[in-house]
Structure 1
Amino acid sequence: MHNVLNAKYSDGAASMLFLHLSDIHFRASEVATAQDPNRNLRNEIVRDAKKFCEDLGKTPVGILISGDIAFAGQRSEYEFAKAWLKVLAEACGTNLSSVFVCPGNHDVDRKLAGRYMNQALHQQIKNADPMVLHQLMEGLLRDDQTGRILYEPLDEYNSFAGQFFCDMNAPDRTVVSRNDLRFSDGSQLKIWAVNTAWVSSEADDENQLFIDTAALQIPREAGVENIVMFHHANRWLRNGQTWDDHLRAVARIQLCGHEHLARVEEFKSCVRLRAGALHPERTEPNWQPGYNLFEVDVEEIDGRRVMNVDVHVRVWSPATETFQAQASSDGNVWKNSFGLEAWTPPVTAGRSEETVEDESAENVDQDAATMNGREIGIAFFSLPYSRKLEIAARLNLMDESDINQPDYERFRRVFKRAAERNQMPDLEAAIVLAGGAVARN
């Protein structure tokens, strides 16, 4: 099966541009009201990102959001977020298919997370002996009942994230990845999203949250470099040191949020970007909204492969009501370079380039089928529930196993079946007939 986005970028790019946001905190009581205190701020973000992309002469291949899209995990907050992200994406020359997200603590429905059963499970995890912690978490996530209880507070988040193929569900999709980007030498850039908020509630405190075992299995692969995005800094995680050790070993680029401070942490083997909150609370000390753009490429220098990461940190200036550069010691761009292991593209003798590309697209991930036609997916998930249901039934894409699944999971399976059964043209035609529109870059 041909991977649409892999086809778009398979020839490689001299450098790829990413837009990194975090802690947007769309609050239902404020957004789309006359008294919304952040309306002008959002307008300036769009203006600044648009001009910066134009000045660089590049379009972002990814809009990456490291958590806290909503303020209270409510559906109306995500509806507003999608509408605003569409404006931002189009201003920067792309569309919603470039969005990739991970959850934060504000993406959790606190009412659901505060239920007795959720709190009892949280306490069981928090009180576990470190020697058996991972086995306990694995057991709870693999059990149908407890796994569902632990992830149900993220249902509205998942309905939003499912449109971008990065929704999460226990037990087998607690870590998700995007696999369609390639450097100019043919090597791959893979983006991972990790959930640090699955044990989050009103009781959050430092050293009281967890990543699960799956997050510690992100692999190192020949010809693959990883970007890993997560919400909470390591000090908020009970198993944060183990997580930090793994991150430094497998990911050259790490993106996080939560603490509302713009920071570029430069290490010998990696760089970690802490995004300033796009919508911090105005009562916070040193209130300063911000976001990041960063460019990534791989080049050969004196026979060695090198990854370059140029970071542009943009922070709000209240005096001028504009975004400005947060300078490094060497200027307005934070420059990082990392030596990479030697890698040679696989021999393709006897097979067409298109065949090799298609096989690679099939094998990079067990859910690679869902990557086929990201724009079609956005259009499908944007349809009203009744229209999605009617299309799924008419194209015979429903299965009995879908009945007891939450809506986001049910329609994710429907879309995946369409891709696996080569019914994407039929699905696109049905979307258009139902009044949907498929955006194309």
Structure 2
Amino acid sequence: MDKIVNILHISDIHLDAAGSFSQDVVLNAFLEDIPKLDGLGLKPDLLVISGDLAKVADHDDAYNNFLNFILRLFDVFAIDEDKLILCPGNHDVSRKVAGPSLPAIQAWRKEAEDRDKANTLQLNPAYAGHVYKTFEGYYQLADSFSQKSVVSTGTSYTSYFFREFGLSVISVNTATLSTAGLISPRDDERKLVIPERLLVDAFATVPRDSHKLVVGHHPTSWLSETNEEMVRRLLGQSGHMYMCGHIHIARPETVSGLLGSCHYAQTGALYEWRDRWNGYCVYQIVPGSPLTCHG
């Protein structure tokens, strides 16, 4: 029988550096629920967290509570840290950096409307420097975990290969052009991009015959229309699954086209606030076969 891989997918944790009683109530309930997965044959082999790790990236020690939470999670289901895949979200943007950079961000957005210019944007030193400074806290956190499964890194992606599962994962930063709510809560909608070159280069770093998952914070509907069309075509051609969050609603769907099919695994928020639905998903994958989703 082929190996079944269980993937625990959580997103939008919004951990508050100052702590929150209501947040503790919800996250403690989650940690109490996780051991029950073992009895259902769903003990996670991989852990995917698709962005918005912190509530406010600029707070002092913004990621300390996240680190404490993730260490507890590792302990609960005895998973090694090299089985963790992260990507940043718009809450992981430093507003202290994004605020003064708003004119540059808006200019880069305009530039990225052109496919070829979007492909060269990641080679722009000013843009690359902005991305690093904007997500410096996130990158320091991500680099503190084991890099054993990391194959390659670029300006806005990290690729992983898990040989024992025949599974590759590409984590992309979809929030590089985010204004972090400084203009309006939905200002990022239809203005973000995943450059074609970034995805093509990232896919080239992992084995061609592996089962390929892509992880990003935003659903593809938050990319510009022309960029979304290109990204979905590439995902159907070269990927098997796109995992995201951001909307705080679980909405899985499979899309098939002439070049192939891809499952879009949008999960809800692990914590939005106490009186809203908070949750997670577990996916069962047999590489090369359709998946099963458990909410």
Q: Shared fold (TM-score greater than 0.5)?
A: yes
* Equivalent position SS for 1:247: helix
The answer as to whether partners of 1:219 and 1:250 remain within 8 angstroms in 2 is yes
Q: Where in structure 2 are the equivalents of 1:282-301 lying within 5 Å?
A: 287-298=276-287
Match of 1:60 among 44, 68, 77: 44
Task: Determine whether 1:272 maps to 2:250.
Answer: no
Tell me how far apart the structure 2 counterparts of residues 237 and 63 of structure 1 sit (CA, whole Å): 25
The residue number in structure 2 matching 1:150 is 131
The residue number in structure 1 matching 2:211 is 225
Greater Cα radius of gyration, structure 1 or 2: 1
The residue number in structure 1 matching 2:35 is 50
Tell me how far apart the structure 2 counterparts of residues 69 and 147 of structure 1 sit (CA, whole Å): 22
User: Where in structure 2 are there 5+ consecutive unaligned residues?
Assistant: none
Q: Where in structure 2 are the equivalents of 1:21-420 lying within 5 Å?
A: 21-29=10-18, 31=19, 35-56=20-41, 59-74=43-58, 76-115=61-100, 118-128=101-111, 130=113, 133-164=114-145, 165=147, 172-183=154-165, 188-201=166-179, 202-203=182-183, 204-217=187-200, 218-219=202-203, 222-238=208-224, 239-268=227-256, 269-281=261-273, 287-298=276-287, 306-313=288-295
Tell me how far apart the structure 1 counterparts of residues 121 and 175 of structure 2 sit (CA, whole Å): 15
- Going from structure 1 to structure 2, the CA distance change for 1:288 and 1:198 (only over 3 Å counts) comes to same
The answer as to whether partners of 2:112 and 2:121 remain within 8 angstroms in 1 is no
Tell me how far apart the structure 1 counterparts of residues 138 and 38 of structure 2 sit (CA, whole Å): 29
Per-residue deviation at 1:139?
4.1
* Equivalent position SS for 1:142: coil
Tell me how far apart the structure 2 counterparts of residues 150 and 14 of structure 1 sit (CA, whole Å): 38
Per-residue deviation at 1:152?
0.9
The answer as to whether partners of 1:85 and 1:96 remain within 8 angstroms in 2 is no
Aligned length in residues: 276
Per-residue deviation at 1:138?
4.4
Q: Deviations over 1:285-334 (max 9, x none)?
A: xx210101111114xxxxxxx51312111xxxxxxxxxxxxxxxxxxxxx
- Going from structure 1 to structure 2, the CA distance change for 1:127 and 1:308 (only over 3 Å counts) comes to closer
The residue number in structure 2 matching 1:355 is none
Tell me how far apart the structure 2 counterparts of residues 247 and 140 of structure 1 sit (CA, whole Å): 21
Name the aligned partner's letter for residue 289 of structure 1.
Answer: N
Tell me how far apart the structure 2 counterparts of residues 272 and 122 of structure 1 sit (CA, whole Å): 28
Per-residue deviation at 1:125?
2.1
- After superposing on structure 2, the runs of 4+ consecutive aligned residues of structure 1 that deviate more than 4 Å are none
Per-residue deviation at 1:258?
0.3
Q: Deviations over 1:3-25 (max 9, x none)?
A: xxxxxxxxx96211111000000
Task: Determine whether 1:15 maps to 2:4.
Answer: yes
Tell me how far apart the structure 2 counterparts of residues 162 and 212 of structure 1 sit (CA, whole Å): 23
Tell me how far apart the structure 2 counterparts of residues 122 and 69 of structure 1 sit (CA, whole Å): 22
The answer as to whether partners of 2:23 and 2:273 remain within 8 angstroms in 1 is no
* Equivalent position SS for 2:291: strand
Tell me how far apart the structure 1 counterparts of residues 280 and 250 of structure 2 sit (CA, whole Å): 8
The answer as to whether partners of 1:254 and 1:271 remain within 8 angstroms in 2 is yes
Tell me how far apart the structure 1 counterparts of residues 189 and 233 of structure 2 sit (CA, whole Å): 18
The higher relative CO (CA closer than 8 Å, separation ≥ 6) is in: 2
* Equivalent position SS for 1:179: strand
- Going from structure 1 to structure 2, the CA distance change for 1:95 and 1:224 (only over 3 Å counts) comes to closer
Q: Deviations over 1:384-409 (max 9, x none)?
A: xxxxxxxxxxxxxxxxxxxxxxxxxx
- Going from structure 1 to structure 2, the CA distance change for 1:146 and 1:310 (only over 3 Å counts) comes to closer
* Equivalent position SS for 1:17: strand
The answer as to whether partners of 2:14 and 2:54 remain within 8 angstroms in 1 is yes
The answer as to whether partners of 1:86 and 1:95 remain within 8 angstroms in 2 is no
Q: Where in structure 2 are the equivalents of 1:422-437 lying within 5 Å?
A: none
Tell me how far apart the structure 2 counterparts of residues 69 and 252 of structure 1 sit (CA, whole Å): 25
* Equivalent position SS for 1:270: strand
Tell me how far apart the structure 2 counterparts of residues 93 and 214 of structure 1 sit (CA, whole Å): 37
* Equivalent position SS for 2:132: helix
Tell me how far apart the structure 2 counterparts of residues 157 and 94 of structure 1 sit (CA, whole Å): 21
* Equivalent position SS for 2:111: coil
Percent of residue pairs identical: 26
Give the TM-score of the pair, scaled to structure 2: 0.84
Give the TM-score of the pair, scaled to structure 1: 0.58
